[in-house]
Amino acid sequence: MIDMGDDERAVLERIGQGLLYTESEASFQAPLRRADLIFEYNRTRPGDAAGRRALLERILGSVGARTVLNSPFHAGFGSNVHIGDDFFGNVNLTFVDDVEIRIGNGVMIAPSVTLTTTGHPIHPDLREDFRRFSEPIVIEDKVWIGSNVVVLPGVRIGYGAVIGAGSVVSRDIPPMTVAVGVPCRVVRPISADDLKNRLAPS
């Protein structure tokens, strides 16, 4: 836990409202960063399952059972990431977790995906001292995110949704839909017909 005064609490309240804050104002959160542990995790042997699991439990805010997170992965903090059971994250997964990223059960994420809770103002005069805003990301159960997807601040991806490769997700995606594109848009619902997809002939 961080020992906070009134000024720090005021900054956290502003962050929680999605308002702008600066790097200097947020510097009191530095002890929550897990950069050294992430560095260590990314250099563990793939076969050292117990060692990798122990490190993940120290890095992440919470982590479920049967989690696979391939190296390397990157995170601003690590401690603001919460992952459910039966998670698979492929290589080069990046969490920009200035605020919480919550990932449900049975989620699969392909290579080179970025989940970013943080953005910056459009006007350059507002970007002094790395001024930014942050909004949490929620990925519900059984979502599949394709390669090279970027999920932007404040987005919720609904249960069972599929996000096509290369998409930029800037708005919420409803459950049980396929969405793709820049910006990412729903192209169709997921239906019982998809149960037959790529099955061997009977």
User: By the 8 A CB rule, do 151 and 137 touch?
Assistant: yes
Q: In what order do the strands lie in the sheet with 62-63?
A: 62-63, 81-83, 101-103, 137-139, 156-157
pLDDT of residue 5: 82
Kind of pairing between the strands at 185-189 and 177-180: antiparallel
Helices (DSSP H) in the chain: which residue ranges? Answer: 6-16, 35-41, 49-59
165: in domain: yes
196: in domain: no
Say whether pTM exceeds 0.85: yes
Task: Find the angle CA(50)-CA(72)-CA(74) to the nearest 5 degrees.
Answer: 105
Q: How far apart are CA 30 and CA 135, in angstroms?
A: 18
Residues of the chain with pLDDT under 70: 1-4, 200-202
CATH number of the domain where residue 65 is located:
2.160.10.10
1: in domain: no
Q: How many domains does the chain contain in total?
A: 1
199: in domain: no
pLDDT of residue 61: 98
pLDDT of residue 197: 81
pLDDT of residue 173: 98
201: in domain: no
The residue from 74, 82, 120, 123 that is catalytic is 120
154: in domain: yes
Q: How far apart are CA 113 and CA 60, in angstroms?
A: 18
126: in domain: yes
Domain of residue 93, residue span: 6-190
pLDDT of residue 201: 67
Query: Does residue 120 have an active-site annotation?
Result: yes
198: in domain: no
pLDDT of residue 1: 56
pLDDT digits (tens, 9 = 90+) for 60-91: 999 999 999 999 999 999 999 999 999 999 99
